[in-house]
């Protein structure tokens, strides 16, 4: 009795789930606002994934430019993976 009731409930929930998926596919056309928003969101994220890589002069690690710690030193911009590497670079410049 209880097992058959549980089976019916699970079957009903699966039907509802697939019904909702089908309805979303039918009504989510490329012209819909939700579709345009997700496309715009993907385009906004894309430059981060394709960001230029820069090399830390201290530890020689390559990191995306938008994640690097930058500093103007000796008339040029240098990029570092962390503040610790920036401090080490400044310390070596003083010597």
Q: Are residues 63 and 22 in the same domain?
A: no
pLDDT tens sequence across 4-47: 889 999 999 999 999 988 887 777 655 555 555 555 555 555 55
Model-wide pTM > 0.75: no
Q: Are residues 73 and 30 in the same domain?
A: no
Residue 65 belongs to domain spanning? 51-95
Distance (Å, whole) CA 63 – CA 52: 8
pLDDT tens sequence across 73-90: 888 899 999 999 999 998
- Where do we find the tokens 């606002």? 33
Residue 29, pLDDT score: 59
Residue 17, pLDDT score: 94
As to burial, measured by CB atoms within 10 angstroms (0-12 exposed, 13-18 middle, 19+ buried), residue 23 is exposed
Among 31, 50, 69, the domain-final residue is 50
Q: Number of structural domains, the chain? A: 2
pLDDT tens sequence across 12-23: 999 999 998 888
Apex 65 CA angle, 64 and 66, nearest 5: 95
Q: Are residues 56 and 93 in the same domain?
A: yes
Q: Are residues 1 and 46 in the same domain?
A: yes
């Amino acid at each position: 009795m209880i097992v058959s009731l549980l089976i019916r409930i699970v079957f009903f929930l699966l039907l509802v789930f697939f019904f909702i998926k089908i309805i979303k596919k039918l009504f989510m056309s490329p012209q819909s606002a939700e579709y345009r928003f997700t496309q715009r969101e993907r385009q906004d994220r894309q430059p981060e994934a394709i960001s230029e890589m820069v090399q830390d002069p201290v530890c020689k690690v390559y990191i995306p430019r938008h994640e690097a710690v930058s500093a103007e030193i000796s008339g040029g911009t240098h990029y570092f993976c962390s503040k610790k590497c920036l401090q080490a670079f400044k310390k070596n410049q003083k010597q």
